Structure 1
Amino acid sequence: MLTGRLENAAVYFTSSFLHRMRFLDEDNSWELLRKKIFGEDSCPQELVEIGKKIAQNCQGLPLAVVVIGGLLSKDIKTERHWRNVAENLSSKLTSNDDQFLKILSLGYNQLPHHLKGCFLYMGNFPEDFNIRVAMLVKLWVAEGILQPVKFNSLEDVAYEYLLDLVDRNLVLDFERRWNGKIKICKIHDLLRDLCKRDAERKNFFHVMNENFDKIPRGINVHQVSIHRDREILYSRCINLPMSLMRSSLFVDGRLNLPVFASFSLLRVLHTGLEYRINLPDEIIKLVNMRHLSSRCNQRWPLESIYKLWNLQTLILYIDASVQLPPEIWNMSELSHVQLF
């Protein structure tokens, strides 16, 4: 039977998204770790001692216990392997860096290679953001960060990857559909910080909250995510090191788009739905575009959309009646179209 404090910890990681939690004592840390690894089954006796040591090294941090539990539940369950995990945890806690992020980074470092890019991608979204799984799957496909699996569509592969991240307690299953599939997911703000830090260090993507001055000079930015509710003007963008930019996510901001017509490698343009934008006619020249999702404040000339022959997803919110050209049926990559 879980104690009251441990019960609260379990609820925290399954249904609510609170940001404060009391520390666990050693007994409750071990019980939470054991349940995350073995469920209702008992732990093999030869693993109990080292398991308690691992729980102790999490220093009472519930999220750390859950993340490490997710890691161990997927790995081989041998005393030797668990001792390696315990030693890694101990060594990370001896540095001067933030001990919590050091513990959580172990869960990331032990991920299979095919999951690392998908997990880091979660840092694109703002804190406590409701991430719609249907859109996340399409973005992962368009970004090209999935490994194809024979006889499975990339959308199915993406959803399986998401389930794996949820099983490892790195992503929160927040809301389900009527058929049991995940509709909304979230990521804890501390795990998001880990994703954001590692992604920026590897130049995977850069998150802009205030302005563009934080983008390191001397590098070409491949992906940028804008979280600030502000208009992004051409004059602010023109001198950015973005000649190789492939992806732009405007999660929560207004923007003016003529600058993007010069980014010939751009393949993902995703904007929030709260604000209407102007899509310039020149966007038709971006033949590498795979994903285009935005809310337009005018009737955009869709008769030329077929020129974006690599397009996979087209989602447009247009306050006018529209008609797609017949050439759209010749777009072999296009698999999802929504017009509102």
Structure 2
Amino acid sequence: MGGLGKTTLARKVYNNTRIKNHFAHCAWVNVSQEYKTRALILDILKCVGPISEETYNMSDEKLKGELRDKLKGKRYFVVMDDVWKPQFWDEMRACFPNDSNGSRILITSREKEVASNAGSNPPYFLPFLDKEESWELLCKKVFQEEKCPSNLESLGRQLAESCKGLPLSIVVLGGILAKKDKTPQTWSNLIGNVNWFLIDDDNKRCSDILALSYSYLPRKLRVCFLYVGVFPEDFLIPARTLIQMWVAEGFISVQNDSRKMDEIDVAEYYLEQLIDRSLIQVASRKSDGGVKTCRIHDLVRDFCIKMSIQEKFYEVRVNSADLRRSSNSSIPRRLSIQGVGFVPIIIIIIKTHQDYICRLRILGLKPLDWKSWETCQLTDPKD
């Protein structure tokens, strides 16, 4: 299941200095539910070394051979994160030479069948945290290096235990507690307002905690948080792009801000606030400490999309068939289309929704084999 910390653990291994020094080549690729083998091979090749224009023009089979040749005789470590389909390894197997030199491939997945199909080594199943580990993680998130006050420990342990050992739930809950008054009354109210104890489904429990975190967000942050769900699964979101989109959408207000900050500064502050609440994760930072790229967990993204549909804020389409099934009445003001080319998208929209295309304010386009994110801000008929 999601939220156990598979990617977090894999990333700690991948970023370890001893690992980097031990292997000649290290590569990380995010696979996700919708992927293109060719794009993944190119991503790995980029980690191995510079790519020529000729390489980009190779057929898929020649690309596999190119990667295999570059890894031949070298000790390599490749992480393939968030694999969903058992046949994935069959598609990638030919890329990796087995020279018995200590090379390693690490695959993370929620599906046991994926692990079984990938090799003979038994998979490692991440366990849920026990009560003490849950409490330690919650304390770390809420109090950083400080110790939990004795008058909060009993309540805190109850809250930690209610997460049933799911790290993502604990981290999100910690983000709530870190921003609330650290008093017994406040923490008691939290215990009384949720029914996690009665929920057996782990994904449902995590969703409820996300809903609680969302309800405690200031109104100005809610729309910014939901908006992050328009980006594709496992997408590394450029912070500058996200901030500019928030500003362009009119989500950022400086009228009542006493700190005399401009819109970009306020948007950056909003981003840091969402990061502090563990709703957005920092992927990389700039040299000055600012956020360069960020990401959100799959379960968090699912929550954003679900809430946005309920609030008619935006909708996400992942393929042309999904788009064709849409009724004219369901077209939202914002539409994120992922996984198909631009031309089919435009044709489908014109053919099936020509009477309602004027309702769209933002159209986001993301073909599977592109790493960039294209948005088109359409003219609002009210403007």
Give the TM-score taking structure 1 as reference length.
0.68
Structure 1 residues 287 and 216: CA distance shift in structure 2, 3 A: closer
Residue 144 in structure 1 maps to residue 250 in structure 2:
yes
The letter of the residue matching 1:115 is L
Residue 281 of structure 2: which of 156, 163, 172 is its match?
A: 172
Tell me, in whole angstroms, the C-alpha distance in 2 between the residues paired with 1:247 and 1:62.
35
Structure 1 residue 93: Cα displacement: 4.4
Which structure is higher in helix share? Answer: 2
Aligned to 2:310: 201
Residue 367 of structure 2: which of 230, 234, 252 is its match?
A: 252
Structure 1 residue 31: Cα displacement: 0.8
Tell me, in whole angstroms, the C-alpha distance in 2 between the residues paired with 1:67 and 1:164.
13
Residue 54 of structure 1: which of 159, 166, 180 is its match?
A: 159
Residue 225 of structure 1: which of 319, 336, 343 is its match?
A: 336
Aligned to 1:77: 182
Q: Name the SS for the 1:34 alignment partner.
A: helix
Structure 1 residue 105: Cα displacement: 1.7
Whether the aligned pair in 2 keeps the contact of 1:92 and 1:103 (CA below 8 Å) is no
The letter of the residue matching 2:268 is Y
**Paired residues for 1:39-188 under 5 Å:** 39-90=144-195, 93-94=198-199, 98-148=204-254, 149-150=257-258, 151-188=260-297
Give the TM-score taking structure 2 as reference length.
0.61
Tell me, in whole angstroms, the C-alpha distance in 2 between the residues paired with 1:82 and 1:99.
18
Q: How far does the alpha carbon of each residue in 1:233-292 deviate from its partner, in whole angstroms, 9 at most, with x for none?
A: 4441133243321111113369xxxxxxxxxxxxxxxx97489x9x9xxx9xx6669xxx
Tell me, in whole angstroms, the C-alpha distance in 2 between the residues paired with 1:246 and 1:185.
24
The letter of the residue matching 2:278 is N
Percent identity over paired residues: 34
Tell me, in whole angstroms, the C-alpha distance in 2 between the residues paired with 1:287 and 1:208.
21
Q: How far does the alpha carbon of each residue in 1:126-148 deviate from its partner, in whole angstroms, 9 at most, with x for none?
A: 11101001111111101111222
Q: How far does the alpha carbon of each residue in 1:298-322 deviate from its partner, in whole angstroms, 9 at most, with x for none?
A: xxxxxxxxxxxx9xxxxxxxxxxxx
The letter of the residue matching 2:134 is S
Tell me, in whole angstroms, the C-alpha distance in 1 between the residues paired with 2:194 and 2:361.
36
Q: Name the SS for the 2:283 alignment partner.
A: strand
Structure 1 residue 121: Cα displacement: 0.6
Tell me, in whole angstroms, the C-alpha distance in 2 between the residues paired with 1:24 and 1:124.
31
Structure 1 residues 70 and 99: CA distance shift in structure 2, 3 A: same
Aligned to 2:56: none
Tell me, in whole angstroms, the C-alpha distance in 2 between the residues paired with 1:147 and 1:92.
39
Whether the aligned pair in 1 keeps the contact of 2:324 and 2:348 (CA below 8 Å) is no
Q: Name the SS for the 1:225 alignment partner.
A: strand
Structure 1 residue 79: Cα displacement: 1.1
Aligned to 2:101: none
Q: How far does the alpha carbon of each residue in 1:97-142 deviate from its partner, in whole angstroms, 9 at most, with x for none?
A: 8222122221112111111001101110111101001111111101
Q: Name the SS for the 2:206 alignment partner.
A: helix
Tell me, in whole angstroms, the C-alpha distance in 1 between the residues paired with 2:373 and 2:170.
38
Q: How far does the alpha carbon of each residue in 1:42-73 deviate from its partner, in whole angstroms, 9 at most, with x for none?
A: 11111111100000000100000000001100
Q: Name the SS for the 1:232 alignment partner.
A: helix
User: Structure 1 residues 121-130 or 241-250, which shifts more?
Assistant: 241-250
The letter of the residue matching 1:244 is R
Structure 1 residue 83: Cα displacement: 1.5
Q: How far does the alpha carbon of each residue in 1:158-184 deviate from its partner, in whole angstroms, 9 at most, with x for none?
A: 110000011111100110111111101
Residue 300 of structure 2: which of 191, 207, 210 is its match?
A: 191
Using CA pairs under 8 Å that are at least 6 residues apart, name the structure with larger relative contact order, 1 or 2: 2
**Uncovered stretches (5+) of structure 1, i.e. residues with no partner:** 255-270, 290-309, 311-340
Tell me, in whole angstroms, the C-alpha distance in 2 between the residues paired with 1:10 and 1:50.
32
Aligned residues: 259
Structure 1 residue 81: Cα displacement: 1.4
The letter of the residue matching 1:160 is Y
Q: Name the SS for the 1:146 alignment partner.
A: coil
**Uncovered stretches (5+) of structure 2, i.e. residues with no partner:** 16-27, 31-80, 83-109, 111-125
The letter of the residue matching 1:221 is P
